[in-house]
Chains A and B, each alone.
Chain A
């Protein structure tokens, strides 16, 4: 079972969307991520670098059809962090939805 653990690094919405996209895929090309997440080259590069430095993402540069392509994938540490973060967010929502316990008045 996934342990709920809030992750400050993943939480910003752009980074969360990026990690959630990578969590649903085995890998994704830089161009796909840029297009679907509507980020500029520099913004996406910055996010990927941050995640890569944390050990959450690996990137691989490939030559395909004469063009250099960057492929990103989530590491197992990144996947664990993402699952833990989602579990933590779900816990916050569940706590808020649960009726407050206390002695009857």
Chain B
């Protein structure tokens, strides 16, 4: 240990930190989760338009329960790829909260988009709003989550 120069020790610490950051960069949800979520979003948009309000409400609640059951293991963000499982210490405990917050925010965006489209006279405004947000979730879900995690320091 006495033979190690401070520069050498610093370089070694930097290498170890780079490796840790590399693993931290793997935190996230599998690509399939986002596409399944986009499909679900689209389905909810269609059901919300074609079903009576009480049925649409039940379908929405069912979607929420289904999500919490099927995706609960994924929400910790440690299983994005099958190449590794990120340790709990590196992933942190706030990723599920960020994902849920993001989904709630997207619900708000869907409602606002539907209201705007309806005000503009568009037919099936709910479906078109769902299509819009489903595309955002499907194509940009991982990137949005990455930005939100950075903001939330999660």
Residues of chain A touching chain B, judged by Cβ–Cβ distance below 8 Å, are 6, 11, 13, 16-18, 20-21, 23-29, 31-32, 35-37, 64, 86, 88-90, 92-93, 95-97
Contact = CB atoms under 8 A, between A and B. Distances in A.
Interface residues of B, number: 28
Interface of B: 1, 4, 6, 9-13, 15-20, 22-24, 78, 81-90
Given A16-B16, A17-B16, A88-B1, A25 B9 contact: no
A13 B10 contact: no
A31 B23 contact: no
Secondary structure of the A contact surface, majority rule? helix
Contact of B16 (A20, A29, A64): A20
Contacts of A17: 15-16, 18-19
A93 B15 contact: no
B16 A32 contact: no
Contacts of A16: 12, 15-16, 19
